[in-house]
Amino acid sequence: MDLEFCDILKQGCVKIRRKHFWIYQKCWLVFKMASSKGPRRLERFPNQRASNFHCHQKVIDLTDVSKVTRPPKEKKKHALTLTFSDDSTLTFTCDSEREAADWYKTLYRECVHDELDTLRSQEPDLLTSSLRHQTERFCVRLLPCKGLKVSGECVLQVSSEAITLWDKRISHLRLASWPLTALRRFGSDCTWFSFEAGRMCETGEGFFKFQTVEGEAIYQCVHAAVQSIIQQDCPLR
């Protein structure tokens, strides 16, 4: 069963202030959640027609957004400002107060509040300080495979002991888990990550492949975790 998925959270016509200028330029803005195709981001198009054909877009990475605020109405009506970790900002205005409020609610929920929700929704053992720095989560697309009845967009988590797959929409719903000690092999390139599971895994023997723009990063995390296990089992003398 392929997991139904749409990465568009909100879109609409706005006016964005050009960098280093006070001129606001009309455009079509699309807010997309993190997925196997890329990080959480805004895609800016000249108009809606261009967005339908996915052409002439400019991408704004929202990974490092620290604040989403509403400027005072006397300064700019129906406006929002995104502040990034390096203190740079992005300001845009909407056609109505209702639309501005909706953009604010969506951006704040996904870019600011979601960071806390992610930690709170994880299982208690993943919240311990000893494991938190060893845990990485990546957006991937699982290709149809033997051993799992689901496929599509999901979240792959690499910890010091296992690779765990979580539902994309329901963050606390675990789909499967594979102990690192039960992996036979794993590999990657810039567009995919894959591994072969042994018979001791809950899915049984099988080959699992994921489409992702973070294939190399996942490989490095798994490789480091496996090396750590090997060193613990066979300490240097």
* Alpha-carbon 65 to chain mean position: 13
Measured distance CA(111)–CA(107) in Å, rounded:
6
Strand partners, 163: 158, 178
* pLDDT tens by residue, 127-150: 333 333 456 899 999 999 888 888
Q: Tell whether the model's pLDDT for residue 154 goes beyond 60.
A: yes
CATH tag, 2-121: 2.30.29.30
Q: What is the mean pLDDT of the chain?
A: 85
Mean pLDDT lowest among 34-48, 110-124, 168-182: 110-124
The mean per-residue pLDDT over the stretch 191-200 comes to: 94
The mean per-residue pLDDT over the stretch 63-76 comes to: 90
Q: Of 210, 204, 212, give the one whose Cα is nearest residue 184.
A: 204
Supply the DSSP string of 2-24, one letter for each residue.
EEP---EEEEEEEEEEPTTS--E
The pLDDT > 90 percentage for the chain reads 62
pLDDT of residue 168: 87
- Other CB atoms within 10 A of residue 102 CB: 14
Domain 124-233, architecture per CATH: Roll (2.30)
Q: Tell whether the model's pLDDT for residue 50 goes beyond 60.
A: yes
The mean per-residue pLDDT over the stretch 38-55 comes to: 90
Give the phi and the psi of residue 49 in degrees, each rounded to 5. -60, -40
pLDDT of residue 128: 36
Intrachain domains 2-121 and 124-233 with the same fold: yes
pTM of the model: 0.69
pLDDT of residue 114: 63
| Residue ranges per structural domain of the chain | 2-121, 124-233
Query: Do the beta carbons of residue 45 and residue 57 sit within 8 Å?
Result: yes
More confident residue, 25 or 116: 25
Mean pLDDT lowest among 22-36, 85-99, 120-134, 210-224: 120-134
The mean per-residue pLDDT over the stretch 51-59 comes to: 86
Quickly state the pLDDT bin for 76 (edges 50, 70, 90): confident
The mean per-residue pLDDT over the stretch 197-213 comes to: 93
pLDDT of residue 179: 96
